[in-house]
Structure 1
Amino acid sequence: MALIRMDHLAENLKVNLPLYIIVPEPGAMRGIPVRERKVLYLLHGLSDDASAWSRFSTIEILARRYGLVVVMPSVGRSFYIDQPNGQAYFTYLTQELPRYLEDVFGIQPGREKTLIAGLSMGGYGAFKAALLRPERYFAAASFSGVLSMDIWAAHASDQRQTEFELLFGDLNRLPGSEHDPSVWLERAAQNKSVLPRLFAACGRQDDLLPTNLQFKSRCQSLGVALDYHEEDGRHDWPFWDRQIQRFLGMVLEPEE
């Protein structure tokens, strides 16, 4: 596999950003060119960047096993939202980035070949994309994701409250707002037939476990199918690496 780092100007963000892409080597194509391969958008967490998955997990090995193109964008601490300051990270992720991959690499996989997954903040972003843009993805995964705004906002530290208020506004108004996973879920439940396959996992020793349990409960009450996995584990890379292996093993057939 080839690991490519690109720095490109994101129109919706008005800034140059690093973008990491894993692509098969020509000798390993097996007759399927890059433009026709499945694409996994893989999202980083709050304290990481686009390089994190390639540095701390086995994603390159998995990309080879399943013949994937893996796209790892960098979004800072944006929570993958369109921000009040005009930097539109959600639009970048769901609209600009796929168009950029098509224009530069000819990659246009279609919904049936597009997956999205992420950890922590990236789990939040992955499920936001999957629930609000279900026509773009056939499967989505959240690993230790921030999946409940009322629980998360109530436990944000004073320092982080100031930071997150710049993103979301008054945190007391966050539950029930456009940034709340429960709201996305309720909208998506109105047309379950078009939903991607949803996978969520969280460790029992993870502080975000309550947000995942609440999301699971809301899926059950709305009749939304969710593959949920819980096991001993913390908010760390050993757990996330196990879960990306599990997720891909559930939704893809290996090429090797």
Structure 2
Amino acid sequence: MALLTMNAESRFLRTNQAFSMILPDMPRALEPAEFYRERQDLPVVWLLHGTYGDHTDWVRKTNVERYAARKGVAVVMPSGLNSNYSNWSRCMLGYDMYDYVLRELMPMVQEWFPVSARREDNFIAGLSMGGRGAIKLAVNAPERFGAAAILSASPRDFATLTPEYLAGDDPVSARFAGMVENAGGMSAFLASEENVWRIIDERAASGTLPRLLFASGADDDYVMNDLRPFREHAATLGLDATFFIGEGYTHEWDFWDLAVREAFEFFGLPDVEFDAV
């Protein structure tokens, strides 16, 4: 595989930004000029990291490069800081990560690299914070993605975000309080693209949503406490969703390595034939 790191100034992040990208190797049976001349329209997986991470996480901590090689796909891994893949227009000069992914990163990659822009060839996945980003992007822009894999994350019914909860001093409460404030208050927050539970409710019956995979470690109480009620709710909606629960795993890289491999299978990507060595 080819592993690239690209740095470019971003209109939506108001800063220089890096992302990593995996591209398939050239088959040994082909001449280089033949392989690199053709626009290949490769399938592409948009892969999001979690809190405290960056664009190098997936390559450094999992075998995603081998999984991508097996499927012959491109993988794009942006840096999202701790943004929740949300727009933070009042942060410094502005840091609009949600818009960056949809309106800048995807067009850049799809126009400059040999990847497909077709919905059926584009897939999104992420772990923890990246899982929340993946489901948000997938249900708000369903015309962009054929399927999404949400690893160690779950939609949450924001009706549970009471003022008392938001005033709590634990990190999760503080994060939600910041998101509500950023949106301009609870009413605006509930009406925004952040409210994935509401959006799924509104679109589940339309047949327009991507296929969805939700994966969690069975011992990951942080996630399972939200995923169990969402799974029951999804069943009442008739949502096209698959659930993968890893016995004996918590919120950990051993599980995310397993889960991203499961995601590649869920996306329906066929294995490619390797050249004999």
TM-score by length of 2: 0.83
The more displaced of 149-158 and 98-107 is 149-158
1:15 aligns with 2:15: yes
Question: Does the Cα contact within 8 Å between 2:24 and 2:74 map onto a contact in 1?
Answer: yes
Partners of 2:7 and 2:182 lie apart in 1 by: 34
Equivalent position of 2:136 in the other structure: 128
The more displaced of 85-94 and 12-21 is 85-94
Q: CA deviation at 1:170?
A: 8.1
User: Residues 253 and 28 of structure 1: is their aligned pair in 2 closer, same or farther, counting only changes over 3 Å?
Assistant: farther
> Identity of counterpart residues, as a percentage?
29
Structure 2 counterpart of 1:169, from 181, 195, 199 = 181
The one-letter amino acid paired with 1:137 is F
Q: CA deviation at 1:139?
A: 0.8
Partners of 2:170 and 2:28 lie apart in 1 by: 48
Q: CA deviation at 1:231?
A: 2.6
Equivalent position of 1:62 in the other structure: 67
Partners of 2:234 and 2:29 lie apart in 1 by: 39
User: Residues 240 and 29 of structure 1: is their aligned pair in 2 closer, same or farther, counting only changes over 3 Å?
Assistant: farther
**Higher Cα radius of gyration:** 2
Partners of 2:262 and 2:180 lie apart in 1 by: 32
Matched length: 255
Equivalent position of 2:145 in the other structure: 137
Partner secondary structure for residue 238 of structure 1: helix
Listed as ranges, the gaps of 5+ residues in structure 2 are none
CA-based RMSD of the aligned residues comes to 2.6
Equivalent position of 1:253 in the other structure: 270
The more displaced of 168-177 and 13-22 is 168-177
User: Residues 19 and 34 of structure 1: is their aligned pair in 2 closer, same or farther, counting only changes over 3 Å?
Assistant: farther
User: Residues 53 and 28 of structure 1: is their aligned pair in 2 closer, same or farther, counting only changes over 3 Å?
Assistant: farther
Partners of 1:55 and 1:110 lie apart in 2 by: 29
User: Residues 216 and 28 of structure 1: is their aligned pair in 2 closer, same or farther, counting only changes over 3 Å?
Assistant: farther
Q: CA deviation at 1:88?
A: 1.6
Structure 1 counterpart of 2:169, from 153, 158, 174 = 158
- Map 1:228-239 onto structure 2 (within 5 A): 228-232=243-247, 233-239=249-255
The more displaced of 120-129 and 204-213 is 204-213
The one-letter amino acid paired with 2:209 is L
Partner secondary structure for residue 131 of structure 2: helix
